[in-house]
Amino acid sequence: MSFRTHLEEVCRQVEGAVACSVMGFDGIAIETHEVKSPEVDLQAMLVEFSNILGQIRNAAELLATGEVSEVSINTEKLMTISRLVSKDYFMVLALLPDGNYGRGRYALRLATPKVRAEL
Amino acid sequence: MSFRTHLEEVCRQVEGAVACSVMGFDGIAIETHEVKSPEVDLQAMLVEFSNILGQIRNAAELLATGEVSEVSINTEKLMTISRLVSKDYFMVLALLPDGNYGRGRYALRLATPKVRAEL
């Protein structure tokens, strides 16, 4: 099973899903499955996101709050939920603002170990 | 009604709440209501958080994703949910990892306009 299958599965399970991606903290996507065209520049957003997530990860280490499990950034046009896959990679799910946020968190929580197993 | 009353109300409504705060993006808390002592350095975390949230706000402007409505950063020891109050201030709720996350989001969404009205 490739990454793509897991990403497709997440998008299929979550109402309002826009895209699901496995990304490196360097801002380079390993694999992205896009199901809707959002109003925003998704690629630029993911790059910016990986930068911010990297900083959050570093801050969490510094503050000894334990490993970052989930980060969610919601704006007027897009909601995003992300989870760490490994120290170098994370998964991110983008949703429409009226998408099913709770379902998105759940689907991503289930998918992360599956993707981790394939890294 | 002061800020504190709103912060107390949020903490009372949410199972597992640790603290609720109104903060500036400069990292200075206007008011904090703390109900539990978390395992982490809460003050240091809030300062770091305000810095990261400021960057997210700037990135959202740059990428035209619309205003940031909510940011959530969850680690092994603490979950945090934050919402913008104005362009200079935000509210943040810290919860234990087994706290009621959904209820936290809801309580914070209701409290934000009340705090905004008093700024």
Is B65 close to A77, i.e. CB distance below 8 A?
yes
**How does pLDDT run across B42-56, given as a tens digit for each residue?**
888 888 888 999 999
- The tokens for A96 are 């429409």
Q: Which residues from A are below 8 Å from B52, CB to CB?
A: 52, 55-56, 59
Q: To the nearest whole percent, how much of chain A has pLDDT over 70?
A: 99
Supply the pLDDT for residue A39: 79
Terminal Cα distance for chain A, rounded: 12
The phi, psi pair for A82, rounded to 5°, reads -135, 150
Q: Pairing mode, if any, of strands B89-95 and B79-84? A: antiparallel
Write the residue in A59, A69, A72 that is nearest to B71 by C-beta. A72
Is A40 close to B63, i.e. CB distance below 8 A?
yes
- Mean pLDDT estimate for chain B: 92
Selected residue with higher pLDDT from B11 and B119? B11
pLDDT category, A1, cuts 50, 70, 90? low
- Mean pLDDT estimate for chain A: 92
> Nearest CA of chain A to the CA of B1: how many Å?
29
CA A45, A48, A15, A108 dihedral sign is positive
- The tokens for A29 are 């996507």
> Nearest CA of chain A to the CA of B79: how many Å?
9
Residues belonging to chain A with any Cβ–Cβ distance to chain B shorter than 8 Å: 40-41, 44-45, 48, 52, 55-56, 59-60, 62-78, 102
Q: Look up tokens 């109003």; give the residue.
A: A39
- The tokens for A41 are 């520049």
Buried b (16+ CB within 10 A) or exposed e, B45-70: bbbbbbebbbbbbebbeebebbebbb
List the one residue out of B73, B7, B17 whose CA is nearest residue B45.
B73
Q: What is the pTM of this model?
A: 0.91
Q: Which residues from A are below 8 Å from B71, CB to CB?
A: 71-74
B58 to chain A: nearest residue by CA? A48
> Nearest CA of chain B to the CA of A71: how many Å?
5
> Nearest CA of chain A to the CA of B56: how many Å?
7
Supply the pLDDT for residue B1: 57
Q: To the nearest whole percent, how much of chain A has pLDDT over 90?
A: 66
**How does pLDDT run across A66-106, given as a tens digit for each residue?**
889 999 999 999 999 999 999 899 999 999 999 999 999 99
Is A40 close to B74, i.e. CB distance below 8 A?
no
Supply the pLDDT for residue A43: 87
